[in-house]
Structure 1
Amino acid sequence: MRALRSFAASAVDSAAIDPGSIAAEDAAAVRALAHGARVLAVGEAAHSVADVQTVQDLIVRDLVQDPDGAVAPFAAVAVESGFAESLALDAWVGGSGRDADLDAVARDGMTYGFGASPQVQHMLAGLRDWNLAHPERRVRVIGIDLPGSSTSPGPAVRACLDRIPALPGDAELLRRSDLGGRTEAAIALDRMDPAERAELVAAIRGLIERVRAQGDGIAQRAAASLDAFLGELDFVDGPGPDGAPRAYPRERFMADTVRWIAERYGRTILLAHNSHVRRTPLHGRATLGSLLAAEPGSAYRAIATSYAYGPLVRFEQRSPRPFDCDVLLDHRGPVPGSLEAALERVLPAPETAGAESVAVLLRLDADVTAGSDPELAELLAGASGILAGGELDPVDDFPAAFDAVVHLREANRVPGAFERLRAEFGLGTPDAKEQP
C-alpha cells in the first residue's frame, strides 16, 4: 500500500536514541508532512507511553537538525505542560545550569509528572546539546498548559510576581496561591470556604490586571494561564453562539499559547495528546488543533500516534473527593471500529511479522474520499475512531482530523509512571478528614 511505510522500527524500542537512527525514508516522509507548516503537531495516543515518546523524540530531533531548506528551521517545541513551570526548563535547555541538573529541572519544569520519563529527559538533553553547539539556531521548549497540573495557581502567580514591580501583600498572595501538588491542590480548592475562595480569586484577578498594565509578554502569558485557570473553575457547560458546546478555557489557552510561541519564536513542533492536536472538534467541542486550523491561512499539520497492544490505565472513583481513585493498569488490544483494528487487519500477523511492521507511518491525503486511493479509503471506511485509553475518540473524517498516523504494533509504559500515579492519587490512603 502506497500510504504504508516502515518507521524506524529498529529504533522505536530504544531509550538511547542515536540522532541518526530515524530511517532515511521515514525522515523524508516526515519532512514532507512538515513542509510549509507553521505548527506541526505530533500527538500522543496516551500519556506516559515510552514508545510514543520515543517516536516524538525521533521526529523532533530530525526536524530540528535537518530542516526544510525552503523555509525557516523549527525554532520551538511546545509541550502539554504548565507554561509557568517551563520557564526554568527552557532556560536549562538553552544552556543555563549544569548537565547534571537534567532530572531535577525536568521534574520541576514539567507538570503532570511528565518530566520523570527517561524518554522525555533524553529529548530535552538532546535539545540542550543542540543549543550549546548551535547557539545561532537556539530551540525553545515552552509549556502551553495551565499551572500546577491544572489544580494550583501558585506557579503562575510566582512567574507573574517575578516579572512585575512588587507591591505590599505579594508574599501573602504567593503563599495563599501555592496549594501544593496536583491532588493536594485539588482537595484544598474543593474544601476551601466560599468566602476564602472568593477572596483568593479576587486577589488573582487583581494580579492579572497588574500584569496586563505591564509590557512583559512572558508575564502576560503567565497571567493568561491564570485567567484560564479561573475560567475552568467557573466553567458552565452549554452551547456557544454557533450552537456547538463551548470550548474549555484550558483548550483555548493552549491554542492561544501555541500561536504566541509561533509568533514570538518561529516554526513550532507541538507535542500533546491526540485529543488536543486533532484538527476537528471532539464530541462537537473545539480542540486546540481545530482552533488553530480554523484560522485563515492556517499552516497547521497534525500527526497522530496509535498503538494496538499496550498499557491501559483506568481510574475508578472511590468518593466524590477530587482524585480519590483506584488506579488500575490493564493491557489493551484493538477495539472494533478503531483505526488501530483496521491497521492491524492489513499488517502481517504478529507471529510472522518482521521488524518493518513494528511501527508504520500512514499518510492520510485530503483527497482520499475522492477515490484517488481506494486501498486507503477502504481501510478508513472500517474505522470510526482512534483509541484513547480503552474507549474510542470518534473521528468522522480521518484526513480532516490528521495528516498522518504513526502506528505502533506494541507499546510500553514509561518505567515507574504507573506507580507514581497510584502514589499521587493516594491509593489505599484514607482521607484524613474521614478518620475517627
Structure 2
Amino acid sequence: MSGDARKTAEGLAYLSGFGNEHSSEAVPGALPQGRNSPQRAPLGLYAEQLSGTAFTEPRAHNRRSWLYRVRPSAAHPAFTRTGNGAVRTAPFTQAVPDPNRLRWNPLPEPEAGTDFLASLWTLGGNGDVTQRTGMAVHLYHATASMERVFGDADGELLIVPERGGLLLRTEFGLLHAEPGHVALIPRGVRFRVELLDADARGYVCENYGTPFQLPDLGPIGANGLANARDFLAPVAAYEDVEGPVEVVNKFCGNLWTATYDHSPLDVVAWHGNHVPYVYDLRRFNVIGTISYDHPDPSIFTVLTSPSDTPGLAGVDFVVFAPRWLVGEDTFRPPYFHRNVMSEYMGLIKGAYDAKAEGFVPGGGSLHNMMSAHGPDRETFDRASAAELKPQRIDDGLAFMFETRWPVTLTPQAARAEHLQQGYDDVWQGLERHFRPLH
C-alpha cells in the first residue's frame, strides 16, 4: 500500500488525495514491480488497463489505472438488452426545455426490495451521451441492497446521499458514504451498492463530459475550497466468487445485462488515478466575504467538469456548507439573479437560507438559464431587517449541479405527482418600495 492511508471507524482503509497516483494490494506481492504488464503478472493474476481518458491526453489530465485481477474483464458472455426502468439519457428530446422555475418534493416511497439501480429516476439533463457531452440529474430511493453489479460506460456518477448510509463495493475496494458525503464512481468502474440502513435516498449527477476535477483557485491562492487530501480512495479488496453474478452495463443510454460465472469485483491489486473517491462535504473550506457584499456562488465549487471554453463548465458540483456570515451592510442570503448557467439544487439536511418553506431534504428545484430566482418574500423581509451580527449557518446542507446548457426534463419529471404546483407563489408579495426623492 502506498500513499497516506486512513482508517475509518468501520475498519475500512483509504488512500488520500484527489487525482493522485495511488497503488494498493490486497495480497502482498500482487503488484508487479517496475512493469505495468509483465510477461507473467504476480500470483497468476491478469494485468488490465482501465482508461478514463484518451491515451494521448496531456499527462495532467490523463486518467487511467492498472488492475491486477483474478480474471480479465474480457472473460464474459454476450450482453443482452434489459429494461431501462426510470433511467433516461441524453439527448433529451421528448420535451422542450422549460424556462419556468420548478420544484419537486422527494421521490414517492418505493416498493420493498427496490435496489439502487432499480430505484434510479431521471429528472432530466442535456448534451449527447454519444458525443460525451452534458450531464443528467437522477434521484434514487432504495429499500434493498444490490446483489447484481453495475457499471456505467456513459459517464461518471457523483452520488449524493440524503438519507441512509451506503457501502459501495467497487473494483478498487470499499467506500462508505453517508449523508454529508459524496461518492464519485468513475466512468466504467463496476460496483455494487449495499444499504447500511433500512432505506437510502439521494441524488446522482451523471457526468458525460470531462472527468470531474478540483477547480483552479486563481486569486484565492494555494489553499481553500475542497482540499485534495480530503478525498479518500479505497484500499484494494476483492471478491473471489465462483458462480452466477448478474452484471448490468449502461451503454449509450440503455441497460444491458449478462450473467458472469464469477464476480467482476476481483481486482487483487491496482495502481493509477482513475479511481473512485468519497469526500466529506463538512471538510469543505468555505471562502467568503469578511467585509461587505455577497460573493458569487461559484466560490462554493467542490468539483468541476471543464469544457472547451475556459471557466465555462459542462457541470459544476457546488455545496453550501456550514459557514459564518459576517458581511457588513450586506443582504446575506443568496441575492436575486439571472444566470447563463442552469441550476439544479438539492437539500441534504435542514433548511436552505434563501427559502422559508417548501424546499425540503430529498426534494429539488430547477432554475434553467436566465430564469429569475432568489429569496422568497419571507426570507427577503427577514434578511432586509436583520441585525447584522456574526451569524453561524450550520443547520442545513444544500448543493447544486450547475451546467452550461439548459436541463430538459424527462416526461416523467414534467408530469410527476411530486412536482410542486404554484412554486412561483413564493415570490408573490414582493411589493414596490420605490419612493422617488423628488
TM-score tier after normalising by the smaller chain length? under 0.3
TM-score by length of 2: 0.24
Which structure is higher in strand share? 2
TM-score by length of 1: 0.24
Which structure is higher in helix share? 1
Which structure is richer in relative contact order (CA contacts within 8 A, separation 6 or more)?
Answer: 1
